Amino acid sequence: MTMQDERTMDEETNQNESIEGTAPAASEGLSPAMQIRDRIIGVLKTIYDPEIPVDIYELGLIYGVEVADDGEVHVTMTLTTPMCPVAETLPPEVEDKVRNVLGVTDVSLDLVWDPPWSVDMLSDAARLELNMM
């Protein structure tokens, strides 16, 4: 691992802690897999659909994040539409950023269309940001 890789992982860890609003001690009671999952969610909240000012996690584009005890991660996600302009770039970006999270050993990503995404999948935070509340 290069110094750049270590710095990137440290920056992401720090970024995740500020995004999640928790210090490392808050994760002490969680299993290692759940700690990794929390870090992954923090990273997912830094990825935005370029057409919508809300991160992909709050948009409801992430259907699942499963983390095995050995650090293998499976992400299930969708896009707002199959014709989404970022259909070619967003899933690889998600996979790459998840792969760089501390503790992740491997990543698989499934892009699914069922169930189709709808505005009902927006979190309350996303609804507020988009003035839908």
37-77 pLDDT per residue, tens: 999 999 999 999 888 889 999 999 999 999 999 999 999 99
Residue 6 binned pLDDT confidence (cut-offs 50, 70, 90): very low
CATH number at residue 37: 3.30.300.130
Residue 110: which H helix or E strand, with range? strand 106-111
- Count of domains for the chain: 1
Peptide bond between residue 115 and the one before it cis (omega within 30 degrees of 0): yes
pLDDT single digits (tens) 94-121: 999 999 999 999 999 999 999 999 999 9
DSSP 8-class letter at 50? T
pLDDT of residue 8: 36
How far is the C-alpha of 98 from the C-alpha of 77, rounded, in Å? 13
Dihedral sign, Cα of residue 117, residue 118, residue 119, residue 124? negative
Which range of residues forms the domain containing residue 91?
A: 3-129
DSSP 8-class letter at 133? -
